[in-house]
Amino acid sequence: MELNKSVYHQRRQTVLKKIGTDGIAIVFAAPEQRRSNDTEYPFRQDSYFYYLTGFPETESALILNGKEQTATLLCRHKDSDSEIWHGFRYGPDAARDQFKFDQADDITQLTEHLKKALPGHRQLYALWGLYPERDPEIITLWNEINQIANHRSINGSTITPENLINLASILDPMRLIKDEHELSLMRIAAEISARAHIRSMRHTKPGKYEYQIEAEILYEFMSHGARYPAYNSIVASGKNACCLHYVSNRDQLRASELLMIDAGAEYQMYAGDISRTFPISGRFTSAQKDVYDIVLAVNQASIEATVKQANWQTISSKATQMLTEGMIDLGILQGSVEENIDKQNYRRFYMHGLGHWLGLDVHDVGGRFDRQGQPILLQPGMVTTIEPGIYIAAADDIPAAFHNIGIRIEDNILVTETGNENLTASVPKTTSAIEAIMQT
Ligand code: GLY
Ligand code: MN
Ligand code: MN
C-alpha cells in the first residue's frame, strides 16, 4: 500500500519539476456516466488523473502549482448520509494524509483555489479537450484573472498565464515507459486475461452461444479480482470475426466455423488485450489452418523484432509484406507482392494496424512519432500489442473454403534491455497446442 501511494507522489514530483516554477497544471477526475434513469455505469477513474494520484473518486481535481512546487487535491467532503447510500469517500483530510498531497480541500472550493493559484504562472497546463465541458470553466477563470491583472498592470507586475499547453505533452511520454509498479500490475492483467482465453477454449462447443463463452471469460476475470474487462469482449464466430470490433456476441456456434476472441481483463486500472482464434469443432480444417499459419508466422516474426531500438514502422511494414505474400499464396490476391502493397490491395483482408501501446488505456497514449515527427524507437518499459490478422468475407471471387475465416492473434509484449517479454505467452497459439487444449 505504501509503495502504491509513493509511486503517485513521485510522478507528481516529476511533473512539478517539468512544468517548472512558471507552470501550473490542472487535471480532472472522470465524471460518472448515467446508464439509465438514476443508475450509473460502473465508475472508472480517468487514466491520467489516476496515474498522478491513485485517487479513486469522481468529482475530484488535482492542481500542481509549479511556483510552490505543491500538489493540491480537491475532492468531495465527508457526508455520512451520502455514504450510507453510495459508500465510503475519503474526504479531503484523509485523502491528503493517505495519498500524500501537500493540501486538500472540498471540491466546491476549486474555483477559489484556481483564482489564487493561476496568477504568478506563465504556463497553464491542462488536458484540453479530454473533458470538453471543463475547458470553458478554466478559460472563463483565466479571462477573469487576466482582466483583473490588466487593470492593475499600469503599475503592477501581476503575471498571468500566457500559454495554454496540453499536459499530455508531459504525461504521454511518461506513461509510455512503464515503471516496475505498472509492470507488476500489467503482468497480472495479462495473466488473468490469458487464463480466460484458455478457459474459453475448453468451454467452446458447437451449439453454445457466443454470450455463453463471454460469460466464461468474465467469470475468469472476476474470479481473479478483475471486476471489469478492459474493453467490451469480442466473441466472434464465423463471419462475425470479419467485423473487427464485433461485440453483440449473440450468435450460435457452428462446428464448421472458427471462433475469434479478443478479450482482456482490467486489473487495478491496467489492461490486458489478447486475441486468439480456434476451431469450434476442436480441429482446424486445412483451409483454416493455411490462413492461421500465415497469421501466426507474422505474429511470431513481429514479436521477435520487438526489441530495444527497433523502429515500429519497420516491424509493421515487414508484417504487411508477410501477410500480403501469404494472401498471394492462398490465391485470394493476384499479382506481385510489390503491386499489392503499392495499391494497398491487402487492406481488403488486413485493414488495421499491427498493434498499439498498452497500459492504463487499452489503446494507450504515447503515439508512434515524437513531436518532431520522428519515429519513437522502442525502449525498455514500453508495452505494445502485436496483433496481425486476416479477415476473408464471403465473396464470389474468393474460394468457398476461405469464406468467413477471420483470424487475429494478439499478444502483449514488453520491451526489455535484452529483448522482450511476452506477457501473454501462456495462451496456446500453435494449431496443435490449441487442438490439444481443446480436448482437455
Ligand atoms: N481489443 C481491441 C484491440 O485489439 O485493439
Ligand atoms: Mn489490441
Ligand atoms: Mn484486442
What pLDDT score does 154 carry?
52
Among residues 257, 410, 411, 435, which one is catalytic?
Answer: 410
CATH of the domain at 92: 3.40.350.10
* Residue 313 forms part of a structural domain: yes
Judgement on whether residues 340 and 229 belong to the same structural domain of the protein: yes
Ligand 3 centroid to 273 CA: how many Å? 5
Residue 159: what pLDDT? 83
Q: What are 235-266's pLDDT values in tens digits?
A: 999 999 999 999 999 999 999 999 999 999 99
Which of 156, 172, 188 is at the close of a domain? 172
Looking at the fold, whether 284 and 384 belong to one and the same domain comes out as: yes
Same domain, 227 and 313: yes
pLDDT of residue 149: 74
Q: Is residue 14 part of a domain?
A: yes
Does residue 377 fall inside a structural domain?
Answer: yes
What are the 10-residue block averages of pLDDT along the chain, 440 residues in total? Answer: 78 98 97 96 98 98 98 97 94 97 98 93 96 94 83 65 94 98 98 98 98 98 98 98 95 98 98 98 98 98 98 98 98 98 98 98 96 95 98 97 98 98 98 96
Distance 205 CA to ligand 3 centre (A): 23
User: Has residue 317 been placed in a domain?
Assistant: yes
CATH number for the domain spanning 417: value is 3.90.230.10
Let me know whether 167 and 183 are in one domain: no
Distance 55 CA to ligand 1 centre (A): 27
Q: Judge if 159 and 185 occupy the same domain.
A: no
Global pTM reads: 0.96
- Claim to verify: residue 161 and residue 298 sit in the same structural domain: no
* Residue 1 within a domain: no
The pLDDT of residue 3 is: 54
| 298 falls within a domain | yes
Q: Residue 415 has what pLDDT?
A: 98
What is the residue range of 397's domain? 177-437
Q: How confident is the model at residue 151, as a pLDDT?
A: 64
Q: Which residue, 172, 207, 241, sits at the end of a domain? A: 172
Asked if residue 264 and residue 130 are part of one domain, the reply reads: no
| Same domain assignment for residues 278 and 324 | yes
pLDDT score, position 1 = 41
What is the number of structural domains in the chain? 2
Q: Are both 131 and 44 inside the same structural domain?
A: yes
Residue 193 shares a structural domain with residue 76: no
Distance CA 334, CA 336 (A): 7
Ligand 1 contacts CB of residue 128 (under 6 A): no
pLDDT at 157: 65
Among residues 172, 195, 218, the one where a domain terminates is 172
Q: Ligand 1, from 249, 356, 361: best to mutate by most atoms within 8 Å of Cβ? A: 356
Residue whose CA is at the smallest distance from ligand 1 atom 3: 273
Same domain? 207 vs 313: yes
234 with 105, same domain? no
